[in-house]
Amino acid sequence: MGIKMSSLSLRAMKQFLGKSINNKNNNNKLNGFLAEVDLRRYITAIGYGDNISPGGWIARSEGEGTFGHNTIAFFPEILIPKTKYKDDRELPPPPHALHTVCATFHQIGIKSYYCVPSIIEKDVPTSVKWHHKQLGVPHDTPYTDFPPQFECFNQRKISYNHLRYSQVVAKIPSTNIPELFAQESVRIAFARNYLCEISDIDSLFWGQRYTYPIEVKEKTPAWDPRLGYYFGLDIHPFAKLAFYAARKGNLHSLFIVREIANEESRELVKWWAITFEQLAQFVSWNPVSGGKSMTGRTSSTVRIPRAEFSELDASYLKSL
């Protein structure tokens, strides 16, 4: 039975995030999340807010002979602080645009789910219970507990210690804490139960012809006399963009750069965008050693000349 005061405060969300976010990532994850938020705000300001979704997760199966053979995606509802989410509440319908773009995922074999929360105990983030329904299918499906029984994913046999870090989240604006909390909470709900390779979907953009998963990074340009000014991209997100391209169909992808003056001020210089098809044509074949990735390890980086990017503005979005 649900507890009437089934809500979470902003403080409780922050405390949870401070323990759940890996603190060996040199703040890359936090800065990346802020770039995602800034992107959606910017795209809304130039008239395309209805065409972009909040972020989610994409997960692939693990195991010898089955690695990567099964893929799912899931997107959480954002919790509003001090709002009741009783476990017997009427669960909301998925956003129409998200349902539409996930139809593209369904067509290429990626099952997609919308997840909504219930809170069992006030101000106890670990008491959040998630429910899900499948998106992108022609018939309506009921909400059931998340995660469901996924026979194509190996179940986790060893307990997952997801609250083992000590991260400072003070730099994240309070208005953005609920979205990051929802992302982390639903990721942990899945990872507690299943072994998987999991990565974030920064956003989805619904274009005139295609659906575009977005990879957004905050960058300062580097210089190489052979390439001119260029932006680097770690091997991990590059491989993910290549995965989208390999699935073909109406699923394309975008690499978006929020160019900044410097890492300290994060002052915006310009928004840039490039499709993966364009990126693959002009990316340097010789990767270089990069900085620390979001896992805290030194990464390999591919380089794309800045001259091959387009300015991200309303006319560019209209062309997609």
pTM: 0.90
Q: Write out the two tokens for 48.
A: 């395309």
Query: Per-residue pLDDT averaged across 188-213, rounded?
Result: 93
* Cβ atoms of 126 and 115 closer than 8 Å: no
pLDDT in tens, 242-290: 999 988 777 889 999 999 999 888 899 999 999 999 999 999 999 898 6
Interior CA angle at 204 toward 253 and 58, to 5°?
Answer: 85
Percent of the chain with pLDDT over 90: 66
Q: What is the pLDDT of residue 291?
A: 60
Distances (CA, A) of 12 to 115, 129, 131, 191, 219: 20, 16, 21, 21, 32
pLDDT in tens, 60-104: 999 999 999 999 999 999 999 999 999 889 999 998 888 888 888
Omega before residue 287 within 30° of 0, cis: no
* Cβ atoms of 284 and 227 closer than 8 Å: yes
Average predicted confidence (pLDDT) for the chain? 90
CA atoms within 13 A on the CB side of 154: 15
**Per-domain boundaries in the chain:** 1-202, 207-320
Burial 179-201 (b: 16+ CB within 10 A, else e): bbbbbbbbbbbbbebbbbebbbb
- 3-state SS class at 139: coil
